[in-house]
Amino acid sequence: MSSMENGAGAAAGAPQGPPHAPERAHPVTLREVAEAAGVSTATVSLVVNKKKDARIAEETRRRVKEAIRTLGYRPNAMAKTLVSGTSKFIGLVADGVATTPFAGQIIHGAQDEAWKHGYALLIANTEGNGELEQDAISMMLEYKVRGILYSTWFHRATDIPAPLREADFVLVNCFSDEPGARAVVPDEVQGGRSATEILLRNGHRRIAFINATIPAPAKDGRLAGYRQALEEAGIPFDPDLVMESYPDQEGGYRATAELLKRDVTAVFCYNDRMAMGLYDGLREHGLAIPEDMAVVGFDNQEVIAAHLRPPLSTVALPHYELGAAGVRMLLGLDAAVDGAAKIQCPAVERNSVQTKARA
Residue 83 near residue 45 (C-beta atoms within 8 A) = no
Size of the site for a copy of itself (CB under 8 A): 87
Neighbours of 260 (CB within 10 A): 16
The 3-state secondary structure of 152-164, one letter per residue = EEEEEECCCCHHH
Binding residue for a copy of itself, selected from 31, 40, 70, 72, defined by CB under 8 A: 72
Q: Which stretch binds a copy of itself (CB under 8 A): 55-63, 103-111, 212-220, 233-241?
A: 103-111
Binding residue for a copy of itself, selected from 303, 357, 358, 359, defined by CB under 8 A: 303
Binding residue for a copy of itself, selected from 66, 231, 280, 292, defined by CB under 8 A: 280
What is the rounded distance in angstroms from the CA atom of residue 322 to the CA atom of residue 206?
A: 33
Instruction: Please give the DSSP secondary-structure letter assigned to residue 181.
Output: -
Find the shortest distance in angstroms from Cβ 212 to a copy of itself: 16
Nearer to a copy of itself, 22 or 234 (CB): 22
Using rule CB under 8 A, residue 304 touches a copy of itself: yes
Binding residue for a copy of itself, selected from 66, 127, 240, 292, defined by CB under 8 A: 127
Kindly give the pairing relationship between strand 207-212 and strand 169-175: unpaired
Residues 169-228 interacting with a copy of itself (rule: CB under 8 A): 169-170, 178-182
Using rule CB under 8 A, residue 320 touches a copy of itself: yes
CA 4 to chain centre: 33
Q: Which helix (H) or strand (E) holds 168?
A: none
Nearer to a copy of itself, 164 or 223 (CB): 164
Reference 94, options 272, 341, 326; nearest CA is 326
Binding residue for a copy of itself, selected from 34, 37, 46, 97, defined by CB under 8 A: 97
Reference 342, options 191, 193, 214; nearest CA is 191
Beta strand residue intervals within 176-284, DSSP E: 183-186, 207-212, 242-245, 266-269
Q: Tell me, residue by residue from 135 to 154, as one string, x for binding to a copy of itself by CB under 8 A and - for no binding.
A: xx-xx-xxxxxxx-------
Binding residue for a copy of itself, selected from 10, 18, 38, 238, defined by CB under 8 A: 18
